[in-house]
Structure 1
Amino acid sequence: MVDYFSLKESVLIYLDRSGGLQKLAEDCKQLNDPQQTEAVYRFCVCVNPSDVIEIDPELGDCVLHDPLKATALFQSVCFLAIRTLSLVEKIHTKSQVNVVLKLTHLPPFPEYTLDLCAFPRSYGPMKPVFMEGVVIAMTRVTKYTQGAKFLCINEDCPCSTGFHHIRVHVPGATESATVRNDFSCIVCSSPLREDMKFRVLGDKQLVELMHYKAMDVLRAHQQSSLRYQSVTLFLRDELCNSMRIGQLYSVVGIPAHVHQWPHITWSIEANNIQPWESEYPHKVSVNLQELLKATAGSPWRFSAIIAHCFGLDVAPPGLYNTLKLCLMLSLVQTKVDVKETFHSLDLLVITTDTLIIDR
């Protein structure tokens, strides 16, 4: 049987040695504004699995194989520290402390690596994995519910006031898992109603990640029978707008099944993102270089041929060349100000009425 007190003690030792307690105290200083009252307060804790294993192997195993349980342990210790040191007077219950563990890395073993070329098709343990891939699409930043407060409709119940019923987002959960109207009180089983003024919103962005070998089509290599399946990556809060289309990244995240009847799709809840330095995106095929030399006498011939080939499979030949060229330039645009690239929008339009495209 696992000794939870011993695990919490190990968490406290790790936070003390890694500077996590000092960072927690600094983060709490920003939450003492009397005009700012929320149901949930979010704290990011950087965790080095190697250092945790040296302190307590059981805790290290929990961090690597049971992230929800590890999060609950860190949440309990952080709440105890906040209450003991009186860091934030507005935090009354442990549920108000929303701890997000940011893993610095994972062990370099196959069981912690997710190969997008051999993406799993069955259920597996909900544990952090490491993957590498190229961004092929991304959405704009939208809002999601970080946390919400619910009250019991029974006025005689102690849960009709206070912060007894708090729901927060967990990796792999949908919006309906956090906010619904069919929750019941754990004390009297009466229905719960949300206290809307305490809802906490955060930023969310969806990114499509593909294995870099799928980009071989741009090198004019002979196509094989392999089919590369992309995976949806969820970026939340501080990770939003940290990726660019066409760039390679190393990602630490938690895979989860998203149930959308009648389909079951895979998604990855991103935990940490690092750009992947590689020469691959900068290598240009020999055929493309020869084409550039052959059309060097005209400023438009190379662009026209590339635009025609680029959209050959999605539009009739000889049509919509301007649209194809705009799409191609949008995909390869480079600017000094990285933030400007997030305001662009790539569109693919197929129609028989050219007036619609002109407009």
Structure 2
Amino acid sequence: MDADLLKESVLSYLDRSGGLLKLAEDCKPFNDPQQSEAVYRFCISVNPLDVMELDPLLGDCVLHDPLKATALFQSVCFLAIKTLSLIEKIHTESQVNIILKLTHLPPFPEYTLDLCAFNRGYRPMRPVAMEGLVIAMTRVTKYTQGARFLCTEDDCPGSTGFRHIRVHAPGATESATVRNDFSCMICSSPLKEDVKFRVLGDKQLVELIHVKALGNLSNNPLECYCFVSPLHIDELCNSMRIGQLYRVLGIPAHVHQWPNITWNLHEISKKFEALLKATGCSPWRFSAMVAYSFASAVIPPGLFNTLKLCLLLSLVQTRADATDTFYSLDLLVLTTDTLILDR
């Protein structure tokens, strides 16, 4: 289908759903003369069922090609902003950062990510729903939502204006947005960031575990197949609580690799070697067995398995040379007063 027809459908949907009115309201705070940013972020709620009824091809794009759908909404919102003169400081389409927030997904297995059977291989980059218990979370930290770069060659058109805009993509690291080795797409000269236009946002990492893991760990540690999934949250920071069950809509992405984690079977005990071989048919049997017997000198085997598994996971990802306290396990507290822990 022609892209212009899809954009017409996007415009119709925004008009019918009240999205254009909300866009106009969201633009008002950005007109502050004291505020100057490279990227202007807008969150748009999208009901896939309503989009499917309006234009099935656009609905299919929203559900199965979110990057293309986001680009369509970005183009339409930019035209609306320029036509209605909502923000005079926006000069290029790349300055409009659109975040599509789906209200729900179709109730079919294809749109559900099961943490109990999730294959960590290739999966299509499309929205799915997942459900799990929160077992860990980080503090709220800052990340770069968008940045402006200028060409270092003064005679190049890219040395002024907003031709080079970098926007954070889901699952990307900070270095994918801000680095010092980007090149000008016009003359290939090095780019330099205009720091005063950098846009920062809040983020939080939350780890979810399948609810079936609780029963597996307490009853039969040999049958634990749950996966721990790190969840990147940038709109609802501090909205989740440890131990609570949540249903989340998002796009699965490979967030980070740990290049510094190495192992050598010759340096571990023979008992661990034998245990690893005996449980090698499942990536989680070994972890469950270790958690089952962990700290047996203090706590009898089989008790607090979930807590001990979380502790082991924290220790595994702790690096001795880390300077950031995010990688450290500072304190472990057992108490019945959850208020103290929350504080």
Which TM-score band (shorter chain)?
A: 0.7 to 0.9
2:249 to 249, 252, 255: 252
Letter in 1 for 2:17: S
Bigger-Rg structure (1/2): 1
In the superposition, the TM-score normalised over structure 2's length comes to 0.78
Q: Which residue number corresponds to residue 161 of structure 2?
A: 162
In 2: Cα distance, 1:181 partner to 1:216 partner: 49
Number of aligned positions between the proteins: 284
In 2: Cα distance, 1:74 partner to 1:14 partner: 10
In 1: Cα distance, 2:74 partner to 2:298 partner: 59
Matched-pair contact (CA < 8 Å) for 1:113–1:130: yes
Structure 1 residue 131: deviation in Å? 0.7
Q: Which residue number corresponds to residue 25 of structure 2?
A: 26
In 2: Cα distance, 1:184 partner to 1:177 partner: 13
Q: Which residue number corresponds to residue 79 of structure 1?
A: 78
In 1: Cα distance, 2:245 partner to 2:24 partner: 36
In 2: Cα distance, 1:311 partner to 1:256 partner: 31
1:6-57, Cα deviation, whole Å (9 max, x unpaired): 0100000000000000000001111110000010111000000000011111
In 1: Cα distance, 2:22 partner to 2:69 partner: 19
Q: Which residue number corresponds to residue 328 of structure 1?
A: 334
Matched-pair contact (CA < 8 Å) for 1:241–1:342: no
**Does 1:232 pair with 2:238?**
no
Q: Which residue number corresponds to residue 132 of structure 1?
A: 131
1:181-228, Cα deviation, whole Å (9 max, x unpaired): 11111111111100011111111111110000111267x424333332
1:247-292, Cα deviation, whole Å (9 max, x unpaired): 000000100123526599xxxxxxxxxxxxxxxxxxxxxxxxxxxx
Residues 179-258 of structure 1: matches in 2 within 5 Å?
A: 179-216=178-215, 220-236=218-234, 238-258=235-255
Q: Which residue number corresponds to residue 46 of structure 1?
A: 45
Letter in 2 for 1:328: L
More strand by share: 1
In 1: Cα distance, 2:296 partner to 2:203 partner: 33
Matched-pair contact (CA < 8 Å) for 1:31–1:88: yes
In 1: Cα distance, 2:138 partner to 2:299 partner: 30
1:113-167, Cα deviation, whole Å (9 max, x unpaired): 0000001121011000001100000000111100000000111111101111101
Q: Which residue number corresponds to residue 324 of structure 2?
A: none
Unaligned runs of 5+ in 1: 265-309, 344-359
RMSD, matched Cα: 2.3
Letter in 2 for 1:260: Q
In the superposition, the TM-score normalised over structure 1's length comes to 0.75
In 2: Cα distance, 1:317 partner to 1:139 partner: 27
Identity %: 71
